[in-house]
Amino acid sequence: MNLATTEHLTYKHRILGEYYGSENSPTVVIFAGIHGNEKAGVHAAHLVIEKIQKENIQFNGNLHLILGNINALKQNIRFHDVDLNRIWHQSALNKFKNGHQLDYEESKEQKEIFLIIQEILKRPGPFYFLDMHTTSASSVPFITISDSLNNRKFSANFPIPVVLGIEEYLDGPLLTFINEFGHVALGFEGGAHNDPSSVINCEAFIWKALVHSKCIDASNIIGYERFKEVLSNLCCEYQFFEINYRYQLREDENFEMKKGFENFEMIHKSQLLATSNGRDIYAPSGGRIFMPLYQKLGEDGFFILSSVSKFWLKASIAVRKLKINHLLRLIPGVTKDPENNYTLIVNPHIARFLTKEIFHLFGYRQQILKDDKLHFIKRDRNITEL
């Protein structure tokens, strides 16, 4: 499929392909084109479908390939009214259930996707939700996840960088909504928007995901070794990263990133990174630059990453498996949210010594400030129904 062929799309094209194995087997769900200017995932999905049909590949599990923002894909724009990857709030979903009028072009797309997900989740599982994206800057392929143990374990199958906890900085992404139900949910960024190798990376990612989820046996995929090789180069010494700085854009800010930064490129403290309204912006710390903004739309200028040590990864697995998170509630200034088992409410004036890192260790991410208190939400879940 070439770029031009997205012009004919209508809502009835949303499901690109569905393949079934047995009822009690894993289900892989691929989303492509949630952002309409990111077509590599859509092309890759078509290549996968072509190969499945041509080689009559047998499935143990189930596969659904689903298109995201169809109207935006047709126009080759990121979104029309609102970003389809920032509106997955409970309030929006309640509107669907109550039959309320939908506000945006994207709400119609969201409603259809929501109904499809609901239908898929009627099966027993396990489920693997994978969302295919590309970036405005040139980049090695990488994965973004909410920091739950099942997400970490599945991402470790792909020897490429994994960025933990990006949802702390995003409001309403699709995968955070999926994570609320405890299913594996990985964002895959295949490379730069228009780089042909992004399509190759996305295709390799889908095949590897189908094998590692045990949806298809590797022996049934002709040329599987080739796909394995595509995603076999870890760009850095460490695989896991977390965000330790975000440059958030103000409204009407004239922000310009200095040219030539690649994702995950090493930067040093005080390095000149960008200009804002003509003023120079320097790196507040060293690390690796992440998601430098090279397109018009966006809320973040750049992030700075630090690598997560193997020691911290192991320590956090031990702490979470011991299920001693209730100990956090014994600390003055920390209470459990009476309405949500997975949320701790922290009074920052009393529990001043508690740092974000301690909550991260116990598996709590996404701090939200509500009524002067911080809300930390745990990412590991017992699987719940939608």
User: Minimum distance from CB of 83 to Zn ion (Å)?
Assistant: 9
- Residue closer to Zn ion by CB (options 38, 167) is 38
Only segment of 52-60, 125-133, 168-176, 309-317 that touches Zn ion (CB under 5 A): 125-133
Question: Angle CA(68)–CA(11)–CA(181) in degrees, nearest 5?
Answer: 45
- Residue closer to Zn ion by CB (options 199, 283) is 199
- Residue closer to Zn ion by CB (options 199, 267) is 199
Only segment of 46-54, 99-107, 126-134, 212-220 that touches Zn ion (CB under 5 A): 126-134
Q: Does 133 bind Zn ion (CB under 5 A)?
A: yes
- Smallest CA-to-CA distance from 106 within 95, 97, 120 is with 95
The backbone torsions φ and ψ at residue 310, rounded to the nearest 5 degrees and listed phi first, read -65, -35
- Residue closer to Zn ion by CB (options 192, 334) is 192
Q: Does 379 bind Zn ion (CB under 5 A)?
A: no
- Residue closer to Zn ion by CB (options 73, 346) is 73
Q: Distance between CA 308 and CA 298 in Å, rounded?
A: 26
User: Exposed (0-12), middle (13-18) or buried (19+): which is 233, by Cβ within 10 Å?
Assistant: exposed
User: What does the block give as tokens for 198?
Assistant: 């992004």
User: Minimum distance from CB of 246 to Zn ion (Å)?
Assistant: 17
User: What does the block give as tokens for 143?
Assistant: 């994965």
Q: Distance between CA 146 and CA 260 in Å, rounded?
A: 29
- Residue closer to Zn ion by CB (options 133, 365) is 133
Integer Rg of the chain from CA: 21
Only segment of 110-118, 128-136, 286-294, 308-316 that touches Zn ion (CB under 5 A): 128-136
User: Minimum distance from CB of 355 to Zn ion (Å)?
Assistant: 31
Q: Does 183 bind Zn ion (CB under 5 A)?
A: no
Pairing of strands 184-192, 127-135: parallel
- Residue closer to Zn ion by CB (options 257, 345) is 257
Whose CB is nearest to Zn ion? Answer: 133
Which residues fall within 8 angstroms of residue 96, CB to CB, at 6 or more apart? Answer: 111, 114, 115
Here's the x/- map for Zn ion, 15-54, by CB under 5 A: it reads as --------------------x--x----------------
User: Minimum distance from CB of 230 to Zn ion (Å)?
Assistant: 20
Determine the size of the site formed for Zn ion (CB under 5 A): 3
Cα separations in angstroms, 182 against 83, 93, 150, 299: 24, 18, 8, 28
Which residues fall within 8 angstroms of residue 204, CB to CB, at 6 or more apart? Answer: 227, 228, 230, 231
User: What does the block give as tokens for 246?
Assistant: 């975000």
Q: What is the dihedral sign for C-alpha 60, 65, 66, 68?
A: positive
User: Minimum distance from CB of 86 to Zn ion (Å)?
Assistant: 11
User: What does the block give as tokens for 86?
Assistant: 């920032």
User: Minimum distance from CB of 77 to Zn ion (Å)?
Assistant: 12
- Residue closer to Zn ion by CB (options 69, 179) is 69
Contact between residue 199 and residue 135 where contact means Cβ atoms under 8 Å apart: no
- Residue closer to Zn ion by CB (options 87, 283) is 87
Only segment of 132-140, 158-166, 167-175, 311-319 that touches Zn ion (CB under 5 A): 132-140
Which residues fall within 8 angstroms of residue 337, CB to CB, at 6 or more apart? Answer: 343, 344, 345, 375
Strand order in the sheet with 373-378: 334-336, 343-346, 373-378, 364-370
User: Minimum distance from CB of 131 to Zn ion (Å)?
Assistant: 8
User: Minimum distance from CB of 189 to Zn ion (Å)?
Assistant: 7
Q: Which residues between 326 and 365 bind Zn ion (CB under 5 A)?
A: none
- Residue closer to Zn ion by CB (options 206, 221) is 206
DSSP 65: E
Binding residues for Zn ion, per CB under 5 A? 35, 38, 133
